[in-house]
Structure 1
Amino acid sequence: MPRSTNSVSSRKKRKKIIKLAKGFYGSRKKIYTVAKNAVEKSFLYAFSGRKNKKRNLRSLWIQRINAGTRTYGKSYSDFIKKLSYHNVKINRKLLSDISMNEPKVFKNIIDFVYS
């Protein structure tokens, strides 16, 4: 009895990897074994990139809050400490947005915290 191969699903699996490698340079998009390694590595980069994106955005929010507090002669660390002391539950993302787009509201927050 001849050997049976599952060529349909094998080809489907290879085509999926080659499709994911679209846009890669040279043999990384053409040759299956090289493309497979490149796609696996790209998934690792994508995973760590999603984590780095969160880290970078938090850093950006902190810089914006710091710039907003410095205009009133206060420091970021002191401002955050006083926020927690007064039980003000506003996250850094919202604070940075307020400091950039609503300076009067941000001034009111600073006045409340430092009163």
Structure 2
Amino acid sequence: MVRITNGKVRHRRHKTLIKRTKGFRLGRNNVYKQVRLALLKQGQNAYIGRKLKKRDFRRLWIERLSAALRARGSKYSVFVGQMTKKDVRLNRKVLSNIAVAFPEVFDKIHDEVLK
């Protein structure tokens, strides 16, 4: 009986994983055991990064809004409170983009909210 090994299959599997770690440093790009661990860690960091990205962008939008409102002599917290009270449904992303790109429109929104 012929002895069957999975040499070709194993080699192909290792090769595909090693391709995915191109650019990694030291043994993490060519030692199979370290490659596997590096890819696991990479996936964890990517997941965490996607969550942090949302947090960072929200912080950026709030900073932009706050700066635009300070230039007009009002506070972010008061403005957002009034928006909630008057049921103005514009999110922070849209408001910050309007404040940066179209200051005249933002002035009208500011005046309407803080009447």
| TM-score of Structure 1 vs Structure 2, range by shorter chain | over 0.9
CA–CA separation in structure 1 for the residues paired with 2:68 and 2:2: 76
Equivalent AA in structure 1 for residue 46 of structure 2? A
Counterpart in the other structure of 2:23: 23
- What's the offset of the Cα at 1:39? 1.4
**Where do 1:9-88 residues align within 5 Å?**
9-88=9-88
- What's the offset of the Cα at 1:28? 1.1
- What's the offset of the Cα at 1:11? 1.8
Total equivalences in the alignment = 115
Q: Where in structure 1 do 4 or more consecutive aligned residues deviate above 6 Å? A: none
- What's the offset of the Cα at 1:86? 0.8
- The Cα RMSD (Å) is 1.1
Q: Point out where structure 2 has 5 or more consecutive residues left out of the alignment.
A: none
Q: Given the two structures, how large is their TM-score scaled by the length of structure 1?
A: 0.94
Please list the CA deviations of residues 20-68 of structure 1 after superposition, one character each: whole Å capped at 9, or x if unmatched: 1111111111111111111111111111111111110010000000011
> How many percent identity over aligned positions?
39
Deviates more, 1:99-108 or 1:1-10: 1-10
CA–CA separation in structure 2 for the residues paired with 1:54 and 1:28: 29
SS in 1 for 2:94: helix
Q: Given the two structures, how large is their TM-score scaled by the length of structure 2?
A: 0.94
Q: Point out where structure 1 has 5 or more consecutive residues left out of the alignment.
A: none
CA–CA separation in structure 2 for the residues paired with 1:36 and 1:3: 28
Equivalent AA in structure 2 for residue 77 of structure 1? S
- What's the offset of the Cα at 1:84? 1.0
SS in 2 for 1:90: coil
